[in-house]
Amino acid sequence: MPVQERHDAPLAPLTTFRLGGPATRLITAVTDAEVIDAVREADESGTPLLIIGGGSNLVISDKGFDGTALRIATTGFDLQGTRLELAAGENWSDAVARTVEAGLAGIECMAGIPGSAGATPIQNVGAYGQDVSATITEVVAYDRRSGETVVIPNADCAFSYRHSRFKEDPTRYVVLRVRFELEDAGGLSAPLKYPETARALGVEAGDRVPAARARETVLKLRAGKGMVLDPEDHDTWSAGSFFTNPVLTAAEHAAFLTRVAERLGPDVAPPAFPAGDGMVKTSAAWLIDRAGFTKGYGAGRARISTKHTLALTNRGEASTEDLLALAREVRDGVHAAFGVTLVNEPVTVGVSL
Ligand SMILES: Cc1cc2nc3c(=O)[nH]c(=O)nc-3n(C[C@H](O)[C@H](O)[C@H](O)COP(=O)(O)OP(=O)(O)OC[C@H]3O[C@@H](n4cnc5c(N)ncnc54)[C@H](O)[C@@H]3O)c2cc1C
């Protein structure tokens, strides 16, 4: 039997937005066996199931969730040499800190990302030049289709930018454990890929620095953008970036540049990063800002963060509908200005943009 079960349980306190109505039933599972039992029970009875980790990437309807919400609170941090296995319920940022303390490299620049270890493969979490697809070796998951626990090697996870097979097929797998291979670089970080981090550390991109310094620097940079959770700071009542960076085909990119030139003049060059196969990634934050939605935008209860253009925030009294109204306004405004359609990064439950 699951250790903790509640009925008509508010979900808002389990999310970083503090938004969403109640779940018919809320189960908190602290072992893999409890997770599997709860999932099996829901599946056998045909009850809709919502998996919740840290709730930092969830937008839940004001009406709540008519089904079983399963909060994964399993624990387990097992480090053997450079091999790390984390239980799905482990706090991700704390786990990063422990690997840095152990002198290992590979995930130090993902310090401060809220949420659970088990959610990291879902959208291939990443920041400051690292993402988990580079260090995950295997994901141990309960396969709801076969009713078995399976070990999925990295190559079968279909990782791409903020995406994976788990996000593609969200009702199939429940992640139980995530395995990583880290690097022992004598206490140094992995080569720094992100120019902003390198600049802040006074080194060149590609250099290594003590992993602890890399972690601290990233945490400082993140805090300055409201990207480290702080219950007192409404700028962090968010899901981090609300929109993913658009990846455009060569033709879409050319059309985009024409719109930019018409609107902002021929000398304005929007950010552009090669994204493979001739695709170009541009910056959602740039698009939002240049479409006129600057930091702090909004007069209502949901507003753009005062510290980061890409974070939509609950100023304390917002509803999910307030948040979605703002998100739609931003998405439609960017489309009208530049012809590019922004896509939301957080997972929506019972609502859509
Ligand atoms: C302030 C802030 C900053 C952020 N910065 C970043 C960032 O820099 N980079 C980044 O990539 N993300 C960032 N995020 C988004 C978020 O932290 C990540 O997506 C994180 O991995 C979500 O973890 P979670 O446990 O909170 O997932 P939840 O929000 O609980 O769930 C997210 C999705 O994953 C599913 N899920 C959760 N656990 C499991 C599991 N064990 N098995 C199967 N499905 C599961 C849920 O059903 C849901 O669909 C940020 C969020 C906030 C609030």
Fold of 4-72: 3.30.43
pLDDT tens across 216-235, in order? 999 999 999 999 999 999 99
Query: DSSP alpha helices (H): ranges in the chain?
Result: 32-45, 92-101, 165-168, 195-201, 211-224, 250-264, 284-290, 320-338
115 lines ligand 1 (CB under 6 A): yes
Q: Which residues pair with 126 in a beta bridge?
A: 131
Fold of 77-224: 3.30.465
Q: Which CATH architecture has domain 234-349?
A: Alpha-Beta Complex (3.90)
pLDDT tens across 322-352, in order? 999 999 999 999 999 999 999 999 999 999 9
pLDDT value at 92 more than 80: yes
Residue 148's SS3 state is strand
59 lines ligand 1 (CB under 6 A): no
pTM for the structure as a whole: 0.95
Atom of ligand 1 nearest to the CA of 128: 8
88 lines ligand 1 (CB under 6 A): yes
Q: Where are the domains of the chain?
A: 4-72, 77-224, 234-349
What's the number of CA atoms in the CB half-sphere (13 Å) around residue 196? 13
The pLDDT assigned to 3 comes to: 59
